[in-house]
Amino acid sequence: MLRALSLEPDRCTGCLQCEMACSYENEGVFNPAKSRIKVFAFHTEGRFAPYTCTQCDEAWCLKACPVDAIVINSETGAKDVLEDVCVGCKVCTIACPFGTINYNSSSGKVIKCDLCGGDPWCAKACPTGAITYVDADSTGLERMRAWAQNSPSGSASFVTPTEKDVQHYERVQL
Amino acid sequence: MAWTQKILRVNLSEGKVDSEPLNMEWAQSYLGQRGLASKYLVEEIDPKCDPLGPDNKLIFTTGPLTGTMASTGGRYSVVTKGPLTGAIACSNSGGYLGPELKMAGWDMIIFEGKSPKPVYLFVNNDSAELLPADAIWGKTVWEADKILHDVHQDSQIRIACVGRSAEAGCLYSAIINDLHRAAGRSGVGTVMASKNLKALVCRGTKGVGNIKDPMGFMQATENGKKILRENAVTGAGLPQYGTQVLMNVINETGALPTNNMQKVQFAGASKISGEAMHEPRKSDGKPNLTTNAACFGCTIACGRISTIDKNHFTVQNKPEYWGSSGGLEYEAAWALGADTGVDDLDTLTYANFVCNEDGMDPISFGATVAAAMELFETGAISTKETGGIEFKFGSSEALAKAVELVAAGEGFGKDLGLGSKRLCEKYGRPELSMTVKGQEFPAYDPRGIQGMGLAYATSNRGACHLRGYTVASEILGIPEKTDPLVPDGKAGLVKAFQDATAAFDSAGICIFTSFAWSLDDVAPQINTACEGDWSTERLLEIGERVWNMEREFNLKAGFTKKDDNLPPRLTTEKADSGPAAGKVNELDKMLPEYYAVRGWDEQGVPTTDTRQRLGLS
Amino acid sequence: MDHLIVGAGPAGVVAAEYLRKHDASGNVTIIGDEPEPPYSRMAIPYYLVKRIDEAGTFLRKDPGYYDNLGIEVVKDRVNAVDFNKRSASLGSGGTRGYDRMIIATGASPITPPIAGVDLPGVYHCWTLDDARHIIKLMESGNNVVLIGAGFIGSIILEALAKSGVNLTVVETENRMVPRMMNDVAGGLIKDWCVNKGVNVLTSTRVQSIEQGDPLTVNLDNGDHISADMVITATGVASNTDFLDGSGIKIDDGIVVDEFMQTSIDGVYAAGDCAQGKDFSTGGFNVQAIQPTAVEHGKLAASNIVHGHPQQHHGQVNMNVLDTLGLISSSFGMWMGVENGDVVERVDRKKFRYINLQFEDDYLVGASALGLTDRIGVLRGLIQSKIKLKEWKQKLQNDPTRLMEAYLANTQALG
């Protein structure tokens, strides 16, 4: 069954544990500037909003890629960037209307959330349950991806960190 | 290895910025942040220097765990010689600035000299430049923050800034970062302004890597987070009520100093408590508390974000105060509230906002207002001195006016900006100043919590709760319950807390973790992050080394045994209500024992044996 | 149902994929006249700098990809179409019938009217074949003149400069990428390139190219430049010549309606050859950009299979460009609209620039230099027609708070 990240701004305290977990898992460094998930602060409203790719069905990034470097991971449903294929043309970064795929100048490639291959570190690191990785049945998936959706699903549990699973990619028919 | 191993040295007199390697030998002995920066300070400045002169230095410093996934790993400290006290000062702050500095690739910035013109430092990863501060000098922190964001066009920059109070010479000015987090105590902001340095603007995108044992570190930090999560204080009390969880508890203990410490219980305590912040207001139906918020990396999230009723007299027609911002922490609520007798939550929140907006330590400010109120009520000052303000205990109007005057450095605000000690001396009533070494007390009455009297008297930065928080043991039973009303055993307790705290402060994490963590929980996190072997014992020794080093600095600065003292009120005037009724603080019993357990002679000077044992040359 | 797609670029390939998705049993054929498997012109600059090999430019990487999907890819050229007979005549001889056709023939570079432009050593940079020729002359120390500093010229510029040739760029307009950036930003890109050692001549025309070894490029300012190679990149035009006389309506490109259907029933057009609807203006124009080609292909395919359930709102014109590390982007009405509001910030020292164009409470266009994080949200803000309310003022104060503006207005954050 596919799972999706559920993001609940109401529960977010702005601690950025998610950003550190993400950047450490994916870049080997604690560095919010390289995190695929980002918490936005609304100071005068007293609100925080965690934000990352929803793995949207439209897959703007995937379709815009001129070299087929973004593929659907058949196990997770995530749209994954194939680093060795990406040429760094950045077309996906303007095509994604959510602004959740970004150019990483140090690698010359783009980066986006890949759900850590089905074990997203942001969710594991979130201390408040603002980010959870939840089962999404076929009817619930769309709701889950709608931003206004808020369904409490218990606090995040932490699993002992493991090396990222070896991923098997195949192009899934659109 | 968790340190970036780089220091940025900024000579303000010459306008020069240089990079130098971190002294890794010192890092092995003083760890980081408070310990390591204090080592630099004591090595580099004359302890007798004028704190507001060019010979003093101002160090922004992170710790090895700053900017990592260790819970609360978002701290930085500002180390300098404090103008309020003349003692070594180390003020610790959260928010996001510290990690940003670290992620730009710097463990520390040492500011020295004095700029001929107002400047601010812009650190952008490896590059650092002094830029003219004409556009922000004379502005509040909040105004400057807006202007700097506008100039740099990057919503991700982090800013530490001083307000108008510091420019006007208020002696307890704080350095405010991220709009409402403060390196609050001892006047570190005053030092910054004295150097014509208005702000530090930081952007760091290099990150913190270089962890010794990444997998071990992730496991160790997760173990730590689990402990925080499952602890009643850090897992429930602090997130829900913030430090304000203490207001009712301490009041019931009979240790809530009230009306400039004339009393130990406050009738209005429940109205200004953490619980009250959750209650919808009668006026607009909204609670004072908007949400809780975390500093960088913090899994506790004790921070309060509050909103004032738009129609409250303090903010009417002032929309700049209508949005949410940093709300009341316990110490601020006490100083602005119980100590002044004001029990109106929105007035306190307003005063707190202004303290953030213009960079004042709300503890010293509130306590100074309390002293002024007692001076006023006893006739030592009148409306002639106060510019017409009736400085009466319980007056919201007086408090609101006072905070505006100190912020702007105008009128009676000049006097209030001197701090309680100098204010009371100026008006001939020095005994009314509730201070140690010139620094105002925080929110625990040492008649009701005996250990805190000793902790205040011996604190290296003047009266302070964050140097040896025996409240944890005496009231909350952490790590074990001791009787708050007896002085016995408190010497050892205070030393243990002081040393452990110095180690926590040197690691780059928040002292609030110590409600749940002992150094046994910290050591594995440091040991997996940093080169070397880091045991609990080694951390404790570092804590003790740091404490003694700070002590020696103060001794060289001219402090003596007689400065390890409390105002006569606390040792002679009996508590008049509550469980501590009839008690005074028995400092005279505790102090000699404390010197002994510290390995100091009868004059409070570390013995040669002690100094050799700790490797202090 | 026989679906015939003319053209094997992104629009054609995506159209084929969506036809297959929506019509499992129909025959889907792509006809393309280049010898390689369908590839991306966007990737050619990366091929030039040897970051990828030729296969790296292919639109789909798996050699069996089209076969597996049941898409027939035919190497051939459509010389003409008889729309009445629903029949395409092929370059290899013979004809091919169809039930539905999607024309996705793309565009070709314009040859500038300059004497000597047809000499050996003067190239377009458009096809893989062009690239193979250019790569041979991209030797360090060689003198290269690039005519045109538009979007395509600027992309090639990066590849050329990186290869170490002595590069001179000649642009008739007063700035670089004049159709994507205004004076300030286009000027900054020029300064950036000059700082990186590229000789950029704006407001300058090439008058002629003289034969010789090396070639001589004569400029209207009187200068003469020796060149081992000259590359022209002076714009592209839709490939519609083969349709002359066919009766199909052609303007700048093939005229289509809001369903991507041409003036001929059952014939659709997509991509660089199509004059599709522009989201910002509501008019129809040739955008010639990758995301629009893909959207066109998708729309054409689904409209063919499902009829015309809903008209589309058009594509936001947008571009992103990397000139030697300086990244620029533009969206929609970046040049502004009448009676609109604008906020503009420039930091010349840091080569940072942003301008946002508003119409009432809506963002309608933007351009930026040095901004890479989350820039896609500019498209989101424009295309979703998000009413900015108080965030318009906040963006006017700090235009970098784009994502906050988007989130505040889409997540009810108070």
Question: Would you state the pLDDT for residue B155?
Answer: 85
B427 to B184, B381, B412: CA distances (angstroms): 26, 7, 13
Question: Would you state the pLDDT for residue A150?
Answer: 28
Query: Is A126 an 8 Å CB contact of chain B?
Result: no
Tell me the pLDDT band of A1, cut-offs 50, 70 and 90.
Answer: low
pLDDT at B29 over 90: yes
User: Are A114 and C386 a contacting pair, CB within 8 Å?
Assistant: no
* List of residues 6+ apart from C32 with CB closer than 8 A: C7, C8, C9, C12, C38, C73, C74, C75, C76
Helix/strand/coil for B3: coil
**B367-383 per-position pLDDT tens digit:** 999 999 999 999 999 99
Question: Would you state the pLDDT for residue B9?
Answer: 98
pLDDT at A142 over 80: no
The partner residues of B306 in beta bridges, in order of sequence, read: B289, B325
B233 to B237, B243, C393: CA distances (angstroms): 5, 10, 42
Interface contact C401-B153, CB threshold 8 A:
no
The percentage of chain B sitting over the pLDDT mark of 90, rounded to a whole number, equals 98
Choose the mutation target among C398, C401, C407, C413 for the interface with B, i.e. most B CBs under 10 Å: C398
Tell me the pLDDT band of A158, cut-offs 50, 70 and 90.
Answer: very low
**C342-393 per-position pLDDT tens digit:** 999 999 998 999 999 999 999 999 999 999 999 999 999 999 999 999 999 9
A150 to A3, A39, B492, C404, C413: CA distances (angstroms): 16, 17, 51, 19, 13
Q: Mean pLDDT of all residues in chain B? A: 97
Measured between CA atoms, how close is C333 to chain A, in angstroms? 15
Question: Would you state the pLDDT for residue C56?
Answer: 95
Nearest to C285 by CA among C320, C253, C316: C253
Question: Would you state the pLDDT for residue B117?
Answer: 98
Over residues B284-307, the mean pLDDT reads: 95
Tell me the pLDDT band of C412, cut-offs 50, 70 and 90.
Answer: low
Would you tell me which residues 94-123 of chain A have a C-beta closer than 8 angstroms to some C-beta of chain B? none
Question: Would you state the pLDDT for residue A137?
Answer: 57
φ, ψ of residue C126 in degrees (nearest 5): -135, -45
The percentage of chain C sitting over the pLDDT mark of 90, rounded to a whole number, equals 93
Tell me the pLDDT band of C398, cut-offs 50, 70 and 90.
Answer: confident
**B402-426 per-position pLDDT tens digit:** 999 999 999 999 999 999 999 999 9
Interface contact A66-C65, CB threshold 8 A:
no
Count the neighbouring beta carbons within 10 Å of the beta carbon of residue C136.
9
Nearest to C234 by CA among C325, C312, C315, C173: C173
Return the partners of chain B (3 or more C-beta pairs < 8 Å).
Answer: A, C
Which ipTM did the prediction report?
0.94
Instruction: Please give the Cα distance from C25 to C6 (Å, whole number).
Output: 20
One-character DSSP codes across B7-46: EEEEETTTTEEEEEE--HHHHHHH-SHHHHHHHHHHHHS-
pLDDT at A154 over 70: no
pLDDT at B266 over 80: yes
Measured between CA atoms, how close is B17 to chain A, in angstroms? 25
Over residues B108-115, the mean pLDDT reads: 98
Helix/strand/coil for C116: coil
pLDDT at B98 over 70: yes
Instruction: Please give the Cα distance from B536 to B557 (Å, whole number).
Output: 32
Kindly list the structural domains of chain B, giving each domain's residue range(s) and its CATH number in brackets, ordered by start.
6-203 (3.60.9.10), 258-433 (1.10.569.10), 450-614 (1.10.599.10)
Query: Is C21 an 8 Å CB contact of chain A?
Result: yes
Residue B253 CA, distance from chain mean position: 24
Residue B300 CA, distance from chain mean position: 18
Q: Which chain B residue lies closest to A155 (C-alpha atoms)?
A: B229
Nearest to C33 by CA among C85, C104, C112, C94: C104
Over residues A39-66, the mean pLDDT reads: 92
Kindly list the structural domains of chain C, giving each domain's residue range(s) and its CATH number in brackets, ordered by start.
2-108+236-305 (3.50.50.60), 122-232 (3.50.50.60), 325-413 (3.30.390.30)
pLDDT at A163 over 60: no
Over residues B598-602, the mean pLDDT reads: 98
Q: Mean pLDDT of all residues in chain C? A: 94
Interface contact C374-A102, CB threshold 8 A:
yes
C410 against B307, higher pLDDT: B307
User: Are A94 and C376 a contacting pair, CB within 8 Å?
Assistant: yes
Which residues in chain B are closer than 8 Å to C352, comparing Cβ atoms? 153
pLDDT at B322 over 50: yes
Over residues B463-475, the mean pLDDT reads: 95
Interface contact A20-B293, CB threshold 8 A:
no
Which residues in chain B are closer than 8 Å to C399, comparing Cβ atoms? 153
Over residues A24-53, the mean pLDDT reads: 94
Interface contact B155-C345, CB threshold 8 A:
no
φ, ψ of residue B201 in degrees (nearest 5): -110, 130
Measured between CA atoms, how close is C399 to chain B, in angstroms? 7
One-character DSSP codes across C206-252: EEEEE-SSSEEEEETTS-EEEESEEEE---EEE--GGGTTS---BSS
Choose the mutation target among B211, B296, B318, B349 for the interface with A, i.e. most A CBs under 10 Å: B296
The percentage of chain B sitting over the pLDDT mark of 70, rounded to a whole number, equals 100
- Residue B64: asked if its preceding bond is cis (omega within 30°), the reply is no
User: Residue type for C283, please?
Assistant: G
Of C59, C329, C408, the CB nearest to A94: C329
Tell me the pLDDT band of C239, cut-offs 50, 70 and 90.
Answer: very high
**C175-224 per-position pLDDT tens digit:** 999 999 999 999 999 999 999 999 999 999 999 999 999 999 999 999 99
Query: Is C397 an 8 Å CB contact of chain B?
Result: yes
Q: Which chain A residue lies closest to B72 (C-alpha atoms)?
A: A15
B297 against B153, higher pLDDT: B297
Lowest mean pLDDT among A132-136, B18-22, B123-127: A132-136
Question: Would you state the pLDDT for residue C413?
Answer: 57
Query: Is A128 an 8 Å CB contact of chain B?
Result: yes
Interface contact B103-A32, CB threshold 8 A:
yes
Count the neighbouring beta carbons within 10 Å of the beta carbon of residue C118.
9
Question: Would you state the pLDDT for residue C140?
Answer: 87
pLDDT at A146 over 60: no
Instruction: Please give the Cα distance from B262 to B338 (Å, whole number).
Output: 11
Return the partners of chain C (3 or more C-beta pairs < 8 Å).
Answer: A, B
Return the partners of chain A (3 or more C-beta pairs < 8 Å).
Answer: B, C
